[in-house]
Amino acid sequence: MSALSTPAIKTNRPNLVAVGTIVWLSSELMFFAALFAMYFTTRAVQGPKVWLESTGMLNIPFAATNTTVLVLSSVTCQYGVFAAERFQARRTGTLWQVSKWGMREWFALTFLMGAFFVAGQVYEYAMLVSESLSLSSNPYGSVFYMTTGFHGLHVTGGLIAFLIVLIRVFKAQKFGHKQATTAIVVSYYWHFVDIVWIALFSAIYLIK
């Protein structure tokens, strides 16, 4: 059989954007691992007394509610990905027909839930500062605001990414693979941020 008659072999190459995002998130994971190490090291050095006094100021029911909203936003984000994978940019029914929502509606809802979380975190900071727990009040305040603050910045970055995706989809004449890939990559980042917060919430609010 000649070389010309040999059937072509198709190869499925991984999406470079998705692979790059996963590699970048791996570096972000190392960054948060360093924050966890700093938190537990400071806790071990300061002893349980300082921690018990400071953690007593935390409003766990409020933080749990805020956490629930953020975790559920991962669900709405994934529904947006499902819509993007079938190239459905917008809803095909009324606004109240959730089953017919497209990527835009699901991502818009995810954005609102993420914004709710950030607003809740700002409110919590204000309450703690009013109770004299600030960044410079004691070692606990320093590690608390650094760990949760850096995470809050990552959530804010995710919100900006959602806005960029929504604007690009709105301006695009056709929803295709490029738009779907962007939505999927943003979802990777959002799921990562949510998973990190679950670990942070457990370490800061539950393990006293």
Q: Residue 12 falls within a domain, yes or no? A: no
Per the structure, the count of domains in the chain is 1
Task: Please give the pLDDT value at position 153.
Answer: 95
pLDDT of residue 11: 36
d(CA 5, CA 80): 44
Per-residue pLDDT, averaged over 185-194, amounts to 94
Quick: pLDDT tens for 83-98: 999 989 888 888 888 8
- Does 3 have pLDDT greater than 50? no
* Domain, as residue range, for 65: 23-206
CATH number for 70: 1.20.120.80
**Least trusted range by pLDDT, from 104-113, 176-185, 192-201:** 176-185
pLDDT band at 197 (very low <50, low <70, confident <90, very high): very high
pLDDT at 165 over 80: yes
- Asked whether residue 11 is domain-assigned, the answer is no
Identify the pLDDT of residue 6. Answer: 39
Global pTM reads 0.85
Greater pLDDT, 113 or 14: 113
Q: What is the mean pLDDT of residues 97-125?
A: 95
**pLDDT tier, 187 (very low <50, low <70, confident <90, very high otherwise):** very high
Is residue 64 included in any domain, yes or no? yes
**Does residue 17 surpass a pLDDT of 80?**
no
Q: pLDDT for 36-77, tens place per residue?
A: 899 888 888 876 777 777 788 899 999 999 999 999 999 999
The chain-wide mean pLDDT, for the chain, equals: 86
Would you place residue 110 in the very low, low, confident or very high pLDDT band (cuts 50, 70, 90)?
very high
Output 151-157 pairs: Cβ under 8 A, ≥24 positions apart.
151/32, 151/193, 151/196, 151/197, 151/200, 152/118, 152/121, 154/28, 154/193, 154/196, 155/70, 155/114, 155/117, 155/118, 155/193, 155/197, 156/118, 157/189
More confident residue, 2 or 140: 140
Mean pLDDT for 104-108 is 95
Mean pLDDT of 16-31: 74
Q: Considering only residues 83 and 28, tell me which one the structure prediction assigns the higher pLDDT.
A: 83
Q: What is the DSSP string of the chain?
A: --GGGSPPPP--PPPHHHHHHHHHHHHHHHHHHHHHHHHHHHHHHH-HHHHHHHHTT--HHHHHHHHHHHHHHHHHHHHHHHHHHTT--S-SS-TT-GGG--HHHHHHHHHHHHHHHHHHHHHHHHHHHHTT--TTTSHHHHHHHHHHHHHHHHHHHHHHHHHHHHHHHHH-SS--HHHHHHHHHHHHHHHHHHHHHHHHHIIIII--
